[in-house]
Amino acid sequence: MAIGCPHGKLANPKALEAVLTFADRWKPKHRIHLGDGFDTSCFRAGAKGTSDESSEQDPDTKAGVDFINKFRPTVFCMGNHEQRLVNLATHPNELIALAANKVLAECLAPIKRLNAKLIPYRISREGWHELGGYRWGHGHLYGENYLRDSAESFGNCVVAHAHRAGMQKGRRLDNATAYGGGTLADIPAMHYASGRRSTLAWSSGMVFGEVCHEKAQLCLWEWPQYTTDWRLPI
């Protein structure tokens, strides 16, 4: 199974409970975290002069680590929000670099302890985990056709990033398909996106299935935005 984008302290508790219940019920061999496990809003490039600049990082780190410990991923694909810390770890300002390195180490600690495979945030081949004829990673594309474009760029793949659960095929001879796992965040709490029309299409979800003879048969499970019925597959 694969999930993504809980965004640390911005996670929806009901969404987390649902995917953890599913994982406990089915006990999947492969548990893939598609990244953005932490929001790291105080580290974003445009935080200066906004409320994000004073946003506490410790609760965000704690929430992200707590979910990782409960989900126990076998693979963790770093997202653009984790990449913020990687980029700032070599910042010329020593205080910023120290802070970024400290938080990055805390975020990665449970992944190392679980001996999970760590996938860097890159668009190239090394930025993807390959399983069952699919590439699994955080994702890099967005927009109305992000899944179609992902299928055409990367072939069969499973991504998160755009916060829109769905499935779409690319215009290719090999009939490549891209799945989007949505987000596990509390969407109304993500104030930076509250004025965007595209946010209306965000939803929660997960991708799960079976791998047999090195080929995956996948299913998408979606919970609409503002759902109160967190139903799971029987």
Strand 129-131 relative to strand 134-136, pairing: antiparallel
Provide the pLDDT for residue 194. Answer: 84
Look up tokens 């200066």; give the residue: 48
**Pick the residue with more confidence: 178 or 46?**
178
Q: 177-204 pLDDT, tens per residue?
A: 999 999 999 999 998 888 899 999 999 9
- Is 230 within the bounds of a domain? no
- Is 155 within the bounds of a domain? yes
Rounded percentage of the chain residues whose pLDDT exceeds 70: 100
Provide the pLDDT for residue 85. Answer: 97
Candidates 53, 67, 51; CA nearest to 11 is: 67
Q: 127-150 pLDDT, tens per residue?
A: 999 999 999 999 999 999 999 999
Candidates 43, 87, 88, 34; CA nearest to 61 is: 43
Our count of domains for the chain comes to 1
Could you give the C-alpha distances from 176 to 38, 127, 128, 141, 146, in angstroms and in order?
30, 19, 16, 16, 14
49 pLDDT more than 80: no
- Is 197 within the bounds of a domain? yes
> What's 122's domain CATH number?
3.60.21
Candidates 165, 186, 181, 164; CA nearest to 14 is: 186
47 pLDDT more than 80: no
Q: 72-131 pLDDT, tens per residue?
A: 999 999 999 999 999 999 999 999 999 999 999 999 999 999 999 999 999 999 999 999
- Is 205 within the bounds of a domain? yes
- Is 161 within the bounds of a domain? yes
- Is 29 within the bounds of a domain? yes
- Is 60 within the bounds of a domain? yes
- Give the residue numbers spanning the domain of 120: 2-223
- In terms of Cβ atoms closer than 10 Å to its own Cβ (0-12, 13-18, 19+), residue 43 is buried
Provide the pLDDT for residue 48. Answer: 79
- Is 111 within the bounds of a domain? yes
